[in-house]
Amino acid sequence: MRPFILDALYRSLNILPGIGPRSEKHFERLTGGGKILDLLWHVPIELIDRSYSPNIGNAEAGRVATLKVKVKSHTPSPRRSIPYRVTVSDDTGRMTLVFFNPHKSWIEKTLPVGKVVKVSGKLESYQGNLQMVHPDYIADGNKTDEILPAEPVYPLTHGVTNKAVTKAMAAAMEMAPDLPEWLDNSMLKKYGWDSWLSSLKKLHAPQNGEDLEPVSPQRTRLAYDEFLANQLTLALARRQQREKHGRAFNVVGPYRQKLESALPFQLTNSQEDVLSEIDQDMRASAKMMRLIQGDVGSGKTVVAALALMNAVDSGTQGAFMAPTEILARQHFETLEPLFQVMGLDILLLTGRMSAKEKKEAYQKISSGSAKIIIGTHALFQEKVIFDDLGLAVIDEQHRFGVHQRITLSEKGKGTDVLVMTATPIPRTLALTAYGDMDVSRIMEKPPGRKPVDTRLIPQEKAHDMIAGLKRQIDKGARVYWVCPLVEESEKLDLTAAEERYQILQSFFGERVGLIHGRMRGEDKDRVMSDFSEGRLDVLVATTVIEVGVNVPEATVMVIEEAHRFGLAQLHQLRGRVGRGGDKSYCFLMYKTPVTSTAKERLSIMRDTEDGFLIAEKDMELRGSGDILGTKQSGLPEFKIARLEDHGNFLAIARDDAKLILEKDTNLTSQRGKELRTLLYLFEADQAINYLKSG
Ligand code: ADP
Ligand code: MG
């Protein structure tokens, strides 16, 4: 149960002053939730210094100032185009407050003649007179501290002013309880951290630039809290998974041997190593939770297929889940012929199948006649009941979250879980996302791969490049052409792609195809197979081809406005070529002028194909928030912490979490209780479920 002390923070935002039914929606969008707690995690990014309080006589135009003045007279606007003016004065002079189309009743009530008020805003000089247009604040002149000398500035959204945020925030801070400390005293001392409440107070009342820095002690403390909650959650998830009884599989049985000898190639050493780690896990009675990281084309799929055979050899079923329809179909098409030869029933289940097909599939899955099931998210659905799911393989994990992988594994009894990702994840990030799993890395690529010749091409040289491509196509090359990413808006991406499609048709003729995320599934499949079977030479695409598609004959990848993509994404895209025997090229186009960082990022792409190195560099240059460029990345989004600033605390938090749970298995000690509060503070409710009640 949630500790009572947090009740206030879980109350709805609309109880705060200034937040009504209408603005509540805007606030929810701004803070990512409707609770007071959500607002408290909204961090100021700047501050406005309002401490300058001169007299009118010596005030400097151009500065933000707070002045105490007396209202002398009103000059209503004679016409709409002329503003309403209010003359105010102090002992040293007069100035004008200027308003465009104010409500008459409001201005008369706020600035009655004779009243002493404090106004704060930017001073201007207009025809030799001092004026202030629409003061930011007008307060009672005899009350103190209504106008903050240092006003925090928050990120805003349509319908929410900074004034509204600061007002609501002040009230929210009043409600924030002083929570009993969950951090070690020695830690607080070492880093000079304050209590949770004091840190939060300072965070929202920055006095200077240093206070705004992400590495300020107050922000760092709160970031550490967040990491600790994250690491406790993962450690608990991990423990819970392991405590459940797994099953001991019959490893390297007849099916596995058959498949191994049917492979047209030898496994690389890296593949062998990873496979033996998997075998070891599967043989043991504990539950397997293993992640395979390996670059695109490193041969993860084969490894997964061999692992699936262990499940089949033990009389259970295996599920293989892909992140997209296209990929699920592609895996199915690669694996079906192999398995058919061995007399294994393999089944495809995707959202796009007809109701009748699905029903048949459900039946085969629940009766156990289907041994290997390949599918998309559709495998999660309640209707899907496995006869006996032994192994769940999840491909391209970065599209799924922790809870999803647990959900799938709960479809069976003691189901082993194998996750594969082609997204090279920097070590720090891996800690936040996969702390609950064991990690294997495939470092080596299958032999015979030629490096992809990567070149940076300014947009102006597009024509030369196209001419070059024409020669390549005449010799039989197949080309991917990826269109620029526009503001994450698929509609705009689409327009760009369609235009480019037409232009390229004018160069290359009819054998140019277009594929994008808004197409119907069957249409996508058709275009994709036209390309992979050679009926198209050029495939113009938005980033839908990003994940996993395998067309070994494709040898050229053109990426327009490459500087707009994340490096990890560029790396994934480039991985689509260089899969066959022929020399491959990747052209990264950029619009001049580019910033030096952008150029530097693209140069990294030119200089290396090592995904892990690229990922580390990307994080250095761009910060964690953008690493995958997408919100649906499945990686946790932190509210307070920023990996590029606080990342060095992550390993500390992990060790801390481990130690805590070793000493206090169920968080029942006094400190354990406070830590439960921390978990609720970061809404790690899932973690609480992992704790035994009591
Ligand atoms: P990933 O899933 O890691 O992107 P795949 O498993 O799809 O990689 O492998 C890419 C290609 O390399 C496939 O065509 C596959 O058949 C081939 N392949 C995999 N392992 C080897 C190997 N050891 N030797 C040669 N080719 C391999
Ligand atoms: Mg793959």
**141 vs 172, higher pLDDT:** 172
Is the model's pLDDT at 623 over the cut of 90?
no
Above pLDDT 70, what percent of the chain?
93
Q: Strand pairing of 116-126 and 150-153?
A: unpaired
Asked whether residue 463 is assigned to any structural domain, the reply reads yes
Residue 397 has a pLDDT of: 58
d(CA 193, CA 217): 6
pLDDT class of 633 with cuts at 50, 70, 90: very low
38 and 75 in a single domain? The answer is no
Single out the residue in 412, 442, 472 at which a domain terminates.
442
Q: What is each CA distance from 676 to 34, 237, 433, in whole angstroms?
A: 22, 15, 21
Nearest alpha carbon, ligand 1 atom 17: 299
**312 vs 463, higher pLDDT:** 312
Give the per-residue SS3 of 469-509: HHHHHHCCCEEEEECCCCCCCHHHHHHHHHHHHHHHHHHHC
Residue 428 has a pLDDT of: 72
Ligand nearest the Cα atom of residue 298: 1
pTM score: 0.70
Is the model's pLDDT at 230 over the cut of 50?
yes
Residue 490 has a pLDDT of: 57
292: containing domain = 254-442
Contact assessment for residue 627 and residue 644, using Cβ atoms and an 8 Å cutoff: no
Residue 622 has a pLDDT of: 62
Q: Element (H or E) spanning 317, and its range?
A: strand 317-321
One DSSP character per residue, 384-425 reads ---S-EEEEEEESGGGS-HHHHHHHHTTSSS-EEEEEE-S--
Separate counts of helices (H) and strands (E) for the chain: 25, 21
pLDDT class of 626 with cuts at 50, 70, 90: very low
Question: Using one digit for the tens of pLDDT, what is the confidence trace for 468-506?
Answer: 999 989 888 999 999 876 555 556 666 778 888 898 999
> Which range among 25-29, 234-238, 439-443 has the greatest average pLDDT?
25-29
SS3 state at 191: helix
Contact assessment for residue 578 and residue 297, using Cβ atoms and an 8 Å cutoff: yes
94 and 33 in a single domain? The answer is no
Question: Using one digit for the tens of pLDDT, what is the confidence trace for 258-297?
Answer: 999 989 899 999 999 999 999 999 999 888 989 898 887 7
Asked whether residue 643 is assigned to any structural domain, the reply reads no
Above pLDDT 90, what percent of the chain?
54
C-alpha 614 – ligand 2 centre gap (Å): 19
Ligand nearest the Cα atom of residue 396: 2
Write out the two tokens for 109: 């009530």
Q: Cβ contacts of residue 473 below 8 Å, gap of 6+? A: 479, 508, 537, 538
pLDDT class of 549 with cuts at 50, 70, 90: low
Asked whether residue 481 is assigned to any structural domain, the reply reads yes
Residue 438 has a pLDDT of: 84
300 and 433 in a single domain? The answer is yes
Single out the residue in 442, 465, 497 at which a domain terminates.
442
**Average pLDDT along the chain:** 88
Whether omega before 155 lies within 30 degrees of 0, making that bond cis, reads no
Ligand nearest the Cα atom of residue 447: 1
265 and 290 in a single domain? The answer is yes
**286 vs 537, higher pLDDT:** 537
Residue 545 has a pLDDT of: 59
Top mutation candidate among 260, 272, 302, 303 for ligand 1, by most atoms within 8 Å of CB: 302
Nearest alpha carbon, ligand 1 atom 15: 299
438 and 461 in a single domain? The answer is no
Asked whether residue 293 is assigned to any structural domain, the reply reads yes
For residue 334, what is the domain's CATH number? 3.40.50.300
Ligand 1 nearest atom to the CA of residue 442, by list position? 3
Question: Using one digit for the tens of pLDDT, what is the confidence trace for 589-610?
Answer: 998 888 888 888 899 999 998 8
Residue 148 has a pLDDT of: 86
Asked whether residue 187 is assigned to any structural domain, the reply reads no
Residue 98 has a pLDDT of: 96
40 and 135 in a single domain? The answer is no
C-alpha 299 – ligand 1 centre gap (Å): 4
Ligand 1 binding pocket (C-beta < 6 A) is 265-268, 271, 294, 296-302, 422, 446, 550
Is the model's pLDDT at 152 over the cut of 80?
yes
Residue 489 has a pLDDT of: 57
Ligand nearest the Cα atom of residue 294: 1
105 and 32 in a single domain? The answer is no
pLDDT class of 249 with cuts at 50, 70, 90: very high
For residue 122, what is the domain's CATH number? 2.40.50.140
Residue 694 has a pLDDT of: 35
d(CA 239, CA 469): 54
Question: Using one digit for the tens of pLDDT, what is the confidence trace for 639-672?
Answer: 899 887 898 898 899 999 999 999 999 999 999 9
Single out the residue in 390, 421, 442 at which a domain terminates.
442
Top mutation candidate among 268, 301, 306, 547 for ligand 1, by most atoms within 8 Å of CB: 301
Question: Using one digit for the tens of pLDDT, what is the confidence trace for 350-383?
Answer: 988 999 999 999 999 999 999 999 998 888 788 8
36 and 171 in a single domain? The answer is yes
Contact assessment for residue 605 and residue 454, using Cβ atoms and an 8 Å cutoff: yes
Contact assessment for residue 269 and residue 298, using Cβ atoms and an 8 Å cutoff: no
C-alpha 400 – ligand 2 centre gap (Å): 15
Question: Using one digit for the tens of pLDDT, what is the confidence trace for 559-584?
Answer: 998 988 878 788 888 988 887 778 89
Residue listed under structure tokens 């289940």: 349
C-alpha 526 – ligand 1 centre gap (Å): 24
Question: How many independent structural domains does the chain possess?
Answer: 4
C-alpha 326 – ligand 1 centre gap (Å): 18
| Torsion of Cα atoms, 143 then 145 then 147 then 150, to 10° | 160
Question: Using one digit for the tens of pLDDT, what is the confidence trace for 186-197?
Answer: 999 999 999 999
Asked whether residue 69 is assigned to any structural domain, the reply reads yes
Question: Using one digit for the tens of pLDDT, what is the confidence trace for 4-60?
Answer: 999 999 999 999 998 988 899 999 999 988 999 999 999 999 999 999 999 999 999
The backbone torsions φ and ψ at residue 341, rounded to the nearest 5 degrees and listed phi first, read -55, -35
Is the model's pLDDT at 120 over the cut of 90?
yes
474 and 397 in a single domain? The answer is no
One DSSP character per residue, 426-448 reads -HHHHHHHHTTSEEEEE--PPTT
- Round the CA-based radius of gyration of the chain to a whole number and report it: 31
515 and 398 in a single domain? The answer is no
398 and 309 in a single domain? The answer is yes
SS3 state at 346: strand
C-alpha 579 – ligand 1 centre gap (Å): 9
Residue 421 has a pLDDT of: 85
Cα diameter, the chain: 99
Partners of 454 in the β-ladder: 586
Region 73-81 average pLDDT: 91
Asked whether residue 496 is assigned to any structural domain, the reply reads yes
Asked whether residue 66 is assigned to any structural domain, the reply reads yes
Residue 636 has a pLDDT of: 66
Contact assessment for residue 99 and residue 121, using Cβ atoms and an 8 Å cutoff: no
Residue 692 has a pLDDT of: 63
258 and 357 in a single domain? The answer is yes
